[in-house]
Structure formats: C-alpha cells, structure tokens
Amino acid sequence: QSALTQPRSVSGSPGQSVTISCTGSNSDVGNYNYVSWYQQHPGKAPKLMIYHVDKRPSGVPDRFSGSKSGNTASLTISGLQADDEADYYCCSYAGSYTYVFGTGTKVTVL
C-alpha cells in the first residue's frame, strides 16, 4: 500500500498545457482502469476531475483529460487558467477493495 508517485510541483503560464504523472505498479495503476484524479483548493474538500482513467464527470471542462500507459497515469490540463492553481491527486484501485492515492502535485499558474 505504498503511495503512488507524483511530481511535487508543475507550473505553466495561462493558456499553456501541463501534464501530471502518477506512477504506480502492476498491483494498482498497471492492473486496473480505475484511476481517478482530484483537484483540491486550499482548505477545501477534493473534487473529482477524471474517473476510469479518461472519463470526465459532468461539469468538468474538457480542458482536463486523462490517460494511462503501463503503470503510469497522466492528467493533462490544457489552456491553463488561474483557477486551475491547486493540488491534484491521483487515486487507483489496488485490489481486494483497497485504494491508494498519489503523493500530490501542486499546480502553479505563473
């Protein structure tokens, strides 16, 4: 049950794209398509942005997209906006009804 590995921080200018990686193992990310991504603003509860690797809940802009290759999932934010500045966490099913989160990535809009 080790946390998934994410970069500590990424940054970009308004309008640019940033990609956040989430690296796990054959026991979690690599074995299941139940990867989700959450946005968390300071002092707030997390918000679901992507589920099942690449699906967006209603209301989430299509600037947010997800993908997976092997043991690594990725979240891409296109057309970066000031309100995108937040912490982002990935989460994967890890078998036997257990889950593991990523270490978290701070996105900074320059």
Partner 1 sequence: EVQLVESGGGLVQPGGSLRLSCEASGFTFRTYWMSWVRQAPEEGLEWVANIKPDGSEEYYVDSVKGRFTISRDNTKNSLYLQMNSLRAEDTAAYYCARFGMVGTIDYWGRGTLVTVSS
- Nearer to partner 1 (CB atom), residue 82 or residue 97: 97
**Residue 76 CB, nearest approach to partner 1 (Å):** 19
List residues binding partner 1 (CB under 8 A).
1, 3, 32, 34, 36, 38, 40, 44-48, 51-52, 57, 89, 91, 93, 96-104
- Nearer to partner 1 (CB atom), residue 1 or residue 13: 1
Q: Distance between CA atoms of 61 and 75, rounded to whole angstroms?
A: 13
Backbone φ and ψ for 55, nearest 5 degrees, come out as -100, 140
What are the tokens at 30?
Answer: 């690599």
Answer yes or no: are the C-beta atoms of 18 and 7 closer than 8 Å.
no
